[in-house]
Structure 1
């Protein structure tokens, strides 16, 4: 059975995509810890971190690095944070978010009340920053599509 993330990648469930390539996608989470929080998710259904190949992890962290730099630029954040937990969905995903301190980097701080328009605006702000950083080839043409 397809995971929730596979259903998002396949377009069966809407997503706010900011990155897409042949290995992974990145889309906004519906429960952000901070504005601009996205998930980097492999297209392949890998359950969790230790089951991923070294090549896949290298690719995912490279994408996370590029997204993190764009988040820092878009939100004037001193750091980009990378969190890997993966208990809520059995499909490997890296949380990448602009960060101002370690105390806020807790899933207890995730907001589930963010209006859709604010999630859309944050995703578009990140998409613009990724294009400005020269990654336009990996920014999907439409916010709701993982296709390039």
Structure 2
């Protein structure tokens, strides 16, 4: 059975997609550490990131860096954080989020964003991603 991440990336259930390509998809976390918190998810449903092929892991890191640059621009963040922990969903994924202090890394501080807030965050990040690249992998209008 497909994971919730695969279902979102494949358009079977709604989600705020920021990036899709043949290797991965990027979606906003619905309980973000900070506004703009995204998940970089390989299309291959592999549970543990250590089991990902090297080329997949390298691609995920490249996409995470692109998303991180967009997050830093849109949210004026001092840093961009990344966490790989993988306990919530058995499908490897990178948490990438704007950060302004070490406390932004505390998973217990996750909060909810309304669907409208998530849509606004996603629109701003997609626009920044289009500006930073050719936009070929950014869903929605160019």
User: Aligned to 1:36, what secondary structure does the other structure show?
Assistant: coil
1:1-148 paired onto structure 2 within 5 Å? 1-112=1-112, 114-141=113-140
Structure with larger RCO (C-alpha < 8 A, sep 6+) = 1
Q: 1:76 to 1:93 in 2, by over 3 A?
A: same
1:28-54 Cα shifts (integer Å, max 9, x gaps): 111011011110001111111111111
TM-score w.r.t. length of structure 2: 0.95
Partner Cα separation in structure 2 for residue 78 and residue 25 of structure 1: 25
Partner Cα separation in structure 1 for residue 59 and residue 133 of structure 2: 18
TM-score w.r.t. length of structure 1: 0.91
Structure 1: gaps of 5 or more residues = 143-148
The aligned length equals: 142
Partner Cα separation in structure 1 for residue 134 and residue 48 of structure 2: 27
Structure 2: gaps of 5 or more residues = none
Over aligned residue pairs, what C-alpha RMSD do you find? Answer: 1.4
